[in-house]
Amino acid sequence: MAGTRAAIRYAKAVLSLALSEKKADKVNDDMKLIANTISENEELATVLSNSVIKTEVKKASLLAIFPKVNKVTNGLIDLLISNKRIDILNDVAVKYSALFDEHNGKEVAQVTTAVALTKDLEKKVLAKVKELTNKTVELESIIDESILGGFVLRVGDKQFDASISNKLDKLKREFTLN
């Protein structure tokens, strides 16, 4: 929990600095690269979170892996190293991207279906979500066969569950109450 709050604080500070230097887009690209690399590479995540490994080794590793990142991103890495918080780099990168999207009026909608969405249906879902939120929306499609059919749409902290499994659960609760 404390790591998450710290990650949000660092991400807000980096976003503020990047916006003032008009480099928020480039820093966002760096943050996406960092988040993807750390989440896909378990060894890197282990190195960053291991307290036995010296900070110089961690910094050298990060600079070797990310040699062409922006100076704002390099500054973040230096700051996290000096504050002994490099283990939250992935969280900071993820939070930065979320804050950047929020700043630009962009939101990610997750739609969970039992089968893959067709392009036509994807366009309809995007149009409906944009109409409801008045924001630019990026659709993240998740396939979960356990919902049987229908869909579950999550935008921010709102969720609309129109899945068959949800309807069956409601019916089951109605019959058990009577």
DSSP letter for each residue of 94-108? HHHHHHHHHHTTEEE
Distance CA 136, CA 141 (A): 16
Give the model's pLDDT for residue 24.
Answer: 93
Going by C-alpha positions, the residue among 25, 39, 34 that lies closest to residue 61 is 34
Each domain of the chain, given as residue ranges in start order, spans 2-102, 106-177
Q: How many CB atoms lie within 10 A of CB 69?
A: 21
- Per-10-residue mean pLDDT of the chain, 178 residues long, equals 80 95 94 94 91 91 91 94 93 93 84 88 82 80 88 83 88 84
Give the model's pLDDT for residue 1.
Answer: 46
Residues 151-166 as b/e (b if ≥16 CB within 10 A, e otherwise) read bbbbbeeeeebebebe
- Which amino acid is residue 74, in one-letter code? N
Token duo for residue 148: 């049987």
Asked if residues 32 and 97 have their Cβ atoms less than 8 Å apart, the reply is yes
Output DSSP code: residue 158.
Answer: E
- This prediction has a pTM of 0.70
Segment holding 140, helix H or strand E: strand 136-143
Distance CA 164, CA 29 (A): 38
β-partners of residue 112 are 142, 152
The CATH number of the structural domain formed by 2-102 is 1.10.520.20
